[in-house]
Structures are given as C-alpha cells and as structure tokens.
C-alpha cells in the first residue's frame, strides 16, 4: 500500500446541538481514489469540507504528510463542488483566474490553460460565457479548473449527482486522465456503481462516524457491518434529523 | 377691478424648445458644467465607494455592523446639510479655507461626492455581498486573500456596478440643495441646471427653466434606458 497522504484522527464536529461527525479516523493513500459513501445526512459533504480545511473541526486533527493541515498543504489541494460556481467570465478566463490564483508561473499559464481546455473538450467554447454552458460542460470546466494547477489531492463532492449518464461518463473519463497522472482523489457519492468504477478504497459513513473502511473490491461485495449491508440493499433510511439538515446547509 | 390672467405655458414652452433647437450658448454652458460636476463627482464616489463597498460586502471584521448602520444612514443625507458642512469646511475660516474652493465648481464636486459616495458604497456592498455568498466556498478553496476576493467580485459584478454608478449620477445631477450653498449659483461660473431652474422660475423667466427641465427629464430617460441596456447585456453574456 502507498504511503498515507492524508489522515484524520478523532475528528468530531458539532453543528448547533447535533454532533454531525464523530471520532472520524480515515487514511487516504497517495495516488489512490477513496470514495466516501453513506445515506443522505450521514455527514459526507461536511467531512469532505473538513478534510479540505473549509470547516474547522471541534476536536481531532487532519494531517497531510504527517503534519497538521496548513495553508501550504491546502494550496496543493483542489475541490469540485456539487453545483459548480462559474465566474461571470468566459471559459478561458475561468481557467486563467484559477491558474493565476494558484501562483503558476506566467510562462506555464498559456500551455496549462490550453491543456485544460483540451482535457475538458471545451476548446471550441473557450470564448463562450462559462454560465452559458450545459450542466455537464460546466462540471467538466470545474474539474479542469480544479486540476489546472496539478493538485496532489482532489476532492469531489457529488460532482456528477445532477448529470445525465452521458455527461457523467464524460466527467469520469476526464477524471480518469487526472488520476492517471497520479493525483489522489477523495470523492463523495451516493452511487455505489460509480464508487465501484472509480474508487480503490471505500469509507462508509453512518450517522457521522466511519462505520466501515477498506478496499472497494471487497467491501462492496462483502460488507462486514449491518449499516453498509442495509445501505447496499436500499434498506437504510436517510438521516432525517439535524444531521441531514447540517449536511444540506454545508452544500453550496 | 383688474383681473390677472394666468400665464400661458405655450409661449415659454415654444421659447424653451427654440433655446434647445438653436443650442443657445448659455444653455449649453449650464448643461456642460452640470455634466462636468456630476460626472466628476460620480468618478470620485466610485473610486471611494466601489472598493469600500466591496470590502464591507466580502469581509467580516469587528465593527462591520456599525459601519453598515452608518453607511445606511448616510444614504439619506439631506443635500442642504451636506452643503452646509462643506460650506463650513471650505469657507475662509474653515479648515480647508486656504484652498479657496468656496463658490467654485470644485466645491460643488466635493459636495456631490460626499452626497453620493454612501449611495455607491452601500449599493456596491449589497451587490458584492450577494455574489460573495455564491462564490464563498470556491474562493475559500482557492485560498484567495481579501484583496483578491474584492477585486474578483468587483470584476464579476461589473454590469451591476454600472447601474450603481448610474444611480449615483442620477442622484447627483438632480441635486440642488448642496450645490447652491457651496457654488453660490454664480452666472458663468457655478450655475448648473438645477440651480438655474430654481432661480429662473423664481424670476418668472420660464423659457430657460423649461428648457433645462426638458433636458433633465431627457437625461433621466437616458439613464433609465442605459440601466436597462446594461442589465440586458449582463443577462445576454451570462454576467
């Protein structure tokens, strides 16, 4: 198994009176893809935001390369949100904004943007307003924008949940190219089939704690605990109390 | 017993249109000075109000609520009060008396700038705050500094901010209270459309007043048409 890139220990988070993450312990290995699965309201999106440093946990620590998550480590990460937020600019200017803010050298910007446009298959729409793109195109642009600075760790928060199958396939195809370059990916999804297609490892979250964690190949076929078994068989009900609300609140 | 006939409006109205049609030099001078003063005030108000509004709209800092309260209150500044304060500042015995600004177009620009800067800043704050709510997580993820955020938001809100500037211009060009106090309404020096209308109406010289009134109304129409046009461009370009 490759070295651990990111890990959490005793991670907890409370929103209002609800403890939405409970003693989460996770290991993300370099170059691998981890899928976080769970019912609605299990705390998946919140966990992803804590891992990326967007939300401070109440207790516990997120470590990258064995050191607490700091500004330098966060600068080598990127995130694609469920609903992509496109700047009110052209496709190319959206990429240019991302690459500039990441401090990429001027000499590498042009080639970086060109490569990202090709990867996203948006060359022909480079001058079009980003907000006029279809949902699938916007999500591909969001992924291109996230990976334009070649992050070592990429977070995806239900990035394909609102896309049709063809757009999802195009997005996954693009993600495959990113993963092939060695980028470590942590993704949140509701779709067990997508997890099976994309993930090397799986963490199953139930009521804010990691109920099960292991290689995707074995875990999806032979779940150990009752929660994952129930979820895979469609018997696990979404969390309908504060946990669900908290998860929804965090979603952009 | 003599009866006083009400003055007919048709005579002055015809004379007013003649003044406009013949591009009367006095009329042109007054309109030009009005535009110079108000456009300069809008420029200075935007230079101060846009960054100020962007910072207040996108950052959280101690005292922000108080600053918002003050800004909102300043939006309703009475022009005569502004005129009086500026008069006290720039009169010979005031702190800025050495600059000898009283009864000059510069004094009028200063007064109008003070009057509309809170409007520009407050409207910018509202536009930027709404946009920042939408962008917040993306910007947090990109680790943008406060300055980078403010600049990015100002750029993305550009079409809406044009309407903010036009709203400020509309307020400035129609203002009379402040400029008449600090400008003095001196012929060929500080006489602008609104002060001329007030003066000429009181004198019974309705031709010039009506002509200027028609131009002010036309400007209001042009400003509103511009607002609609800019908004349409924004929608069409996805901005």
Let me know if A211 is exposed, middle or buried by CB neighbors in 10 A (0-12, 13-18, 19+): buried
Would you say the C-alpha torsion B216, B176, B35, B225 has a positive or negative sign?
negative
The answer, yes or no, to whether residue B124 has pLDDT greater than 60, is: yes
> Given its phi and psi angles, is residue B86 left (phi above 0), alpha (psi -120 to 50 degrees) or beta?
alpha
Q: Which tens digits make up the pLDDT trace of A168-195?
A: 999 999 999 999 999 999 999 989 999 9
Output the pLDDT for position A11.
96
For the segment B29-33, the average pLDDT, to the nearest whole number, is 95
d(CA B12, CA B206): 6
Chain A residue with Cα closest to B138: A85
Could you give the percent of chain B with pLDDT greater than 90? 74
Provide the greatest CA pair distance for chain B: 86
3-state DSSP of A181-209: CCCEEEEECCCHHHHHHHCCEEEEEECCE
Q: What's the gap in Å between the CA of A205 and the closest CA on chain B?
A: 23
Angstrom CA distances, B105 to B185, B191, B208, stand at 10, 9, 21
Nearest to B238 among A75, A77, A130 (CB): A130
Q: What's the gap in Å between the CA of B129 and the closest CA on chain A?
A: 15
Pure H helices in chain B: 10-21, 25-58, 64-74, 79-90, 105-141, 146-156, 158-173, 177-183, 193-203, 206-236
Chain B residues within 8 angstroms (CB to CB) of chain A: 134-138, 140-144, 148, 152, 155-157, 237-239
Chain A residues within 8 angstroms (CB to CB) of chain B: 49, 52, 54, 71, 74-75, 77-79, 81, 85, 87-89, 97-98, 101-102, 129-132, 252
pLDDT band at B2; cut points 50, 70, 90: very low
The residues pairing with A129 across neighbouring beta strands, listed in sequence order, are A90
Q: Which tens digits make up the pLDDT trace of B166-186?
A: 999 999 999 999 999 999 999
Structure tokens of B140?
């947090």
The answer, yes or no, to whether residue B101 has pLDDT greater than 80, is: yes
CATH top-level class of B25-237: mainly alpha
Cβ contacts (< 8 Å) between A81 and chain B: which residues? 137-138
Would you say the C-alpha torsion B39, B41, B43, B45 has a positive or negative sign?
negative
ipTM of the complex: 0.89
Say whether A87 and B152 touch across the interface (CB within 8 A).
yes
3-state secondary structure of B186: coil
Output the pLDDT for position B102.
96
Output the pLDDT for position B238.
63
Q: What's the gap in Å between the CA of B28 and the closest CA on chain A?
A: 41
Mutation choice for A interface testing from B153, B238, B239 by most A CBs within 10 A: B238
Say whether B142 and A101 touch across the interface (CB within 8 A).
yes
Say whether A54 and B135 touch across the interface (CB within 8 A).
no
For chain B, the domains span 25-237
Say whether B141 and A79 touch across the interface (CB within 8 A).
yes
The answer, yes or no, to whether residue B5 has pLDDT greater than 70, is: no
Output the pLDDT for position B23.
87
Output the pLDDT for position A149.
83
The answer, yes or no, to whether residue B4 has pLDDT greater than 60, is: no
Nearest to A101 among B134, B137, B148 (CB): B148
Cβ contacts (< 8 Å) between A145 and chain B: which residues? none
pTM: 0.85
Task: Using 50 as the pLDDT threshold, list the residues of chain A that sit under it.
Answer: 241-252
Task: Report whether A212 contacts A227 (CB < 8 A).
Answer: yes
Structure tokens of A202?
């799986």
Which residue matches tokens 């607490």? A68
pLDDT band at B114; cut points 50, 70, 90: very high
Between A and B, how many CB-CB pairs are < 8 A? 46
Cβ contacts (< 8 Å) between A157 and chain B: which residues? none
Give the DSSP per-residue string, B150-178: HHHHHHHTHHHHHHHHHHHHHHHHT--HH
Output the pLDDT for position A245.
39
């Amino acid at each position: 198994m490759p070295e651990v890139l990111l890990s959490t220990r005793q991670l907890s988070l409370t929103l209002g009176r609800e403890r939405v993450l409970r003693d989460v312990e996770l290991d993300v290995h370099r170059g691998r893809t981890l899928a976080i699965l769970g019912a609605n309201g299990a705390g998946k999106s919140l966990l992803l935001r804590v891992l990326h440093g967007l939300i401070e946990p109440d207790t516990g620590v997120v470590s990258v390369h064995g050191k607490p998550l700091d500004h330098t480590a966060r600068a080598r990460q990127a995130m694609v949100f469920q609903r992509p937020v496109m700047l009110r600019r052209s496709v190319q200017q959206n990429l240019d904004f991302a690459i500039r803010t990441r401090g990429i050298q001027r000499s590498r910007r042009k080639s970086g943007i060109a490569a990202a446009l090709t990867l996203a298959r948006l060359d022909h729409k480079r001058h079009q307003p980003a907000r006029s793109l279809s949902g699938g195109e916007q999500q591909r642009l969001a992924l291109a924008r996230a990976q334009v600075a070649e992050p070592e760790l990429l977070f995806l928060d239900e990035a394909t949940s609102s896309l049709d199958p063809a757009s999802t396939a195009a997005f996954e195809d693009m993600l495959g190219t990113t993963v092939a370059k060695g980028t470590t990916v942590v993704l949140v999804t509701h779709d067990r089939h997508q997890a099976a297609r994309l993930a090397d490892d799986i963490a199953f979250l139930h009521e804010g704690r990691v109920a099960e964690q292991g290689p995707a190949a074995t875990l999806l076929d032979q779940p150990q605990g009752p929660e994952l078994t129930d979820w895979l068989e469609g018997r696990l009900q979404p969390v309908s109390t504060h946990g669900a609300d908290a998860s929804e609140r965090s979603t952009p | 017993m003599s009866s006083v006939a009400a003055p007919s409006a048709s005579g002055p109205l015809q004379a007013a249109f003649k003044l406009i049609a013949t591009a009367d030099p006095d009329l042109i001078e007054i309109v030009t000075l009005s535009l110079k003063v108000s456009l300069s005030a809008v420029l200075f108000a935007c230079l101060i109000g846009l960054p100020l509004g962007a910072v207040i709209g996108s950052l959280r800092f101690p005292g922000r609520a108080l600053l918002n309260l003050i800004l909102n209150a300043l939006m309703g500044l009475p022009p005569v009060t502004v005129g009086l304060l500026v008069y006290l500042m720039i009169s010979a015995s005031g702190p800025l008396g050495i600059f000898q600004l009283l009864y000059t177009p510069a004094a009028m620009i200063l007064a109008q700038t003070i009057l509309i800067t809170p409007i520009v800043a407050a409207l910018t704050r509202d536009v930027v705050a709404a946009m920042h709510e939408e962008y917040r997580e993306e910007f947090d993820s990109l680790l943008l500094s406060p300055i980078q955020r403010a600049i990015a938001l100002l750029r993305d809100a550009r079409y809406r901010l044009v309407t903010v500037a036009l709203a400020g211009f509309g307020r400035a060009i129609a203002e009379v209270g402040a400029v008449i106090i600090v400008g003095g309404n001196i012929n060929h020096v500080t006489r602008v459309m609104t002060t001329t209308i007030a003066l000429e109406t009181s004198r019974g010289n309705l031709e010039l007043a009506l002509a200027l009134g028609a131009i002010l109304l036309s400007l209001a129409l042009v400003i509103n048409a511009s607002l609609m046009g800019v908004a349409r461009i924004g929608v069409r370009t996805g901005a």
